[in-house]
Amino acid sequence: MQATAYTYDPESRSGSVLLDDGTPLPFDRDAFDAGGLRLLRPGQRVRIETAEESEGTGGEAARRITLVTLQTL
């Protein structure tokens, strides 16, 4: 899936992306490290992989980013 880098904190190596429909989705250090990147700038197009996980007692599924890497053509 493709998205656009929205925020990135180099100290924590975490941030967020905007999906093409405008939905923000955060990523953590593990997802960033899995992509092998060293830096990410807001506005860069990225490829992400996600996983579904249940959240809370309501059992609603939430998407979690498992990999962030640059989008190449």
Overall pTM > 0.75 = yes
In this structure, what token pair is assigned to residue 29?
């250090």
Domain of residue 6, residue span? 2-70
- SS3 call for 13: coil
Q: What is the DSSP string of 21-34?
A: TS-EEEE-HHHHHH
Number of separate domains in the chain? 1
pLDDT digits (tens, 9 = 90+) for 5-60: 999 999 999 999 999 999 999 999 999 999 999 999 999 999 999 998 766 556 66
Q: What was the pLDDT predicted at 56?
A: 59
Amino acid at 12: S
Which CATH number covers residue 23?
2.40.50
